[in-house]
Amino acid sequence: MKKSLITTTAAVATVMSASAAYADLSLGGAMTIKYQSGDATTGFQGTATSYTVNVDYTTTLDNGMGYAVNVDIAGPATHLKQLHTFSTDMGSVFLGTDFTSAVDSKDYVQGAGPFANNPASTTTYNGLLFSGFNDGDALTDNGIGVSTSVAGADVMITYGDDMTDNGNPLSIAASMNIAGATIKAGNTDFDSSSTKDNGFMSIGYSVGGFSLGYNYYDSDTTSITQIGASTTVAGLGVGVSSGTKDNGASADHDAMGIHISGDLGGAFWQIDYMNTDFGDGTESDDYVFYIGTGF
Q: Would 20 be classed as within a structural domain?
A: no
CATH number of the structural domain spanning residue 135: 2.40.160.10
Share of the chain above pLDDT 70, in %: 80
Q: Report the pLDDT averaged over residues 260-276.
A: 87
Q: Is the pLDDT of residue 121 over 70?
A: no
Q: Would 9 be classed as within a structural domain?
A: no
Q: Pairing relation of β-strands 153-159 and 170-178? A: antiparallel
Q: Would 183 be classed as within a structural domain?
A: yes
Positive or negative torsion for Cα 73, 263, 131, 218: negative
Q: Is the pLDDT of residue 140 over 60?
A: yes
Q: Would 153 be classed as within a structural domain?
A: yes
Asked if residues 106 and 175 have their Cβ atoms less than 8 Å apart, the reply is: yes
Q: How many CB atoms lie within 10 A of CB 237?
A: 21
* Domains of the chain: total: 1
pLDDT value at residue 268: 85
Helix (H) or strand (E) segment spanning residue 6: helix 2-21
Q: Would 15 be classed as within a structural domain?
A: no
**pLDDT, tens only, 168-219:** 889 999 999 999 999 999 999 887 666 678 899 999 999 988 999 999 999 8
Residue range of the domain that includes 278: 26-294
Q: Would 31 be classed as within a structural domain?
A: yes
Q: Report the pLDDT averaged over residues 70-89.
A: 83
Q: Is the pLDDT of residue 146 over 70?
A: yes
**Average confidence score pLDDT of the chain:** 81
The pTM assigned to this predicted structure is 0.81
Asked if residues 171 and 146 have their Cβ atoms less than 8 Å apart, the reply is: no
pLDDT value at residue 77: 65
Q: Would 45 be classed as within a structural domain?
A: yes
Q: Would 6 be classed as within a structural domain?
A: no
Q: Report the pLDDT averaged over residues 147-170.
A: 84
The rounded distance, in Å, linking the Cα atoms of 217 and 228 is 15
DSSP 9-61: HHHHHHHHHHHHH-TTEEEEEEEEEEEEEETTSSSEEEEEEEEEEEEEEEEE-
